[in-house]
């Protein structure tokens, strides 16, 4: 009987958790009528601006491409409140300059280009903007070749033995800054990093996380990684918060590793109730999806550091190839 009740409870949990996923996504996503309009506009401008930036980076951009996006960006920036972030304005200005440069090089003139130019003069003067978007040009000998990168990646290991030190703020800022180089869909950068050092905060947070028993007491530096649902719109994007959030988290762990800081990702496979408690305990903003926690700190090298070996599956189980000449048999 108890077994049956447990099965029913677990089945019901599917329904209630999926339902809560849908409700919170609908409530906070970028097309929700309940989401802050300026926050939605921030992401919308980044996304549309990046579409233009991508067009500029093609080998042969089509003259006067992206007219409707340009018109949208001009009107959106006039409505957008820069107190949220200056990045959209900086990015659009940089892209518009690159757009004008391209058309000058192509010898194209058009009323649209005059409008772009007039907007730039007005916007840059009003907001004292330093343009920060457009193109990076790279010569053949500038393309990075980093022989040690494979070693950096393969020598990262989840570490559960830390020295008691608190990381310095500059170190934390540095690794998060490096982690920001993670790719994100349309460069929307939905991921956020919350960082904690107070014993009481860490204890409270780790008690709500299921996988740090046995070393929680040695964690003195803790990240919680989230993704802002306002960056995502439409039901088809319902899982993308996890994709961008996880890429950012991976980059953060590599940034730590490159800086001599050990890390251990900690799952947030929790119910909405526990997730809510974590957001409360960590003062995490409304409408953010929890991605994972990451315990960080200096590795306990004074003792003999132990690391779980975590062997990997053989390559042939993971890599599926269909090379030129291979006969493809669709399933």
Ligand X SMILES: Cc1cc2nc3c(=O)[nH]c(=O)nc-3n(C[C@H](O)[C@H](O)[C@H](O)COP(=O)(O)O)c2cc1C
Q: Which stretch binds ligand X (CB under 6 A): 12-20, 48-56, 153-161, 254-262?
A: 153-161
Q: Which of 27, 86, 157, 238 binds ligand X (CB under 6 A)?
A: 157
Of 7-15, 24-32, 49-57, 265-273, which part binds ligand X (CB under 6 A)? 265-273
DSSP per position, 284-326? PPTTEEEEEEEEEE-B-TTS-------PPPPHHHH-----TTP
Q: Which of 310, 313, 318, 328 binds ligand X (CB under 6 A)?
A: 310
Residue 113 token pair: 């280009």
Interface with ligand X, residue 185, by CB under 6 A:
no
| Span near ligand X by CB under 6 A; candidates 73-81, 125-133, 164-172, 261-269 | 261-269
Binding ligand X (rule: CB under 6 A), the pick from 102, 229, 266, 278 is 266
User: Which positions from 217 through 246 interact with ligand X, judged by CB under 6 A?
Assistant: none
Of positions 20, 117, 158, 237, contacts ligand X by CB under 6 A: 158
- Residue among 245, 265, 287, 297 that touches ligand X (CB under 6 A): 265
CA–CA separation, 281 vs 204, rounded Å?
A: 7
310: left (phi over 0), alpha (psi -120 to 50) or beta: left
- The long-range contacts involving 319-323, CB below 8 angstroms and separated by at least 24 positions, are none
Tell me the CB-side half-sphere exposure of residue 169, using CA atoms within 13 A. Answer: 0
Considering only 51, 211, 218, 277, the residue that binds ligand X (CB under 6 A) is 211
Distance CA 306, CA 262 (A): 12
Residue number with the shortest CB distance to ligand X?
211
Q: Residue 181 interacts with ligand X (CB under 6 A)?
A: no
């Amino acid at each position: 009987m108890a077994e049956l009740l447990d099965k029913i409870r677990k089945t019901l949990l599917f329904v209630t958790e999926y339902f809560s996923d849908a409700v919170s996504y609908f409530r906070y996503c970028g097309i929700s009528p309940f989401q802050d309009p300026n926050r939605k506009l921030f992401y919308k401008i980044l996304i549309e601006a990046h579409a233009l930036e991508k067009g500029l980076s093609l080998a042969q951009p089509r003259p006067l491409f992206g007219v409707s996006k340009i018109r949208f960006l001009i009107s959106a920036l006039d409505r957008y409140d820069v107190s949220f972030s200056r990045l959209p304005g900086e990015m659009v200005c940089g892209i518009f300059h690159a757009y004008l440069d391209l058309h000058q090089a192509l010898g194209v003139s058009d009323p649209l280009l005059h409008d772009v130019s007039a907007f730039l003069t007005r916007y840059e003067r009003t907001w004292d903007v330093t343009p920060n978007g457009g193109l990076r040009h790279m010569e053949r000998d500038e393309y990075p070749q980093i022989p040690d990168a494979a070693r950096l990646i393969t020598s990262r290991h989840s570490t559960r033995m830390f020295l008691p030190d608190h990381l310095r703020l500059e170190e934390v800022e540095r690794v998060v800054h490096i982690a920001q180089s993670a790719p994100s869909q349309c460069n929307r950068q939905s991921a956020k990093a919350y960082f904690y050092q107070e014993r009481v905060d860490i204890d409270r947070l780790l008690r709500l996380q299921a996988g740090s028993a046995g070393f929680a007491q040695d964690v003195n530096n803790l990240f919680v990684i989230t993704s802002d649902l306002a960056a995502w719109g439409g039901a088809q994007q319902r899982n993308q918060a996890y994709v961008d959030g996880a890429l950012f988290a991976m980059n953060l762990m590599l940034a730590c590793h490159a800086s001599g800081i050990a890390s251990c990702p900690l799952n947030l496979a929790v119910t909405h109730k526990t997730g809510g408690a974590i957001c409360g305990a960590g003062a995490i903003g409304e409408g953010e999806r929890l991605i994972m926690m990451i315990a960080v700190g200096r590795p306990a090298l004074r003792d003999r550091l132990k690391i779980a070996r975590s062997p990997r599956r053989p390559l042939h189980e993971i890599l599926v190839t269909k090379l030129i000449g291979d006969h493809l048999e669709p399933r």
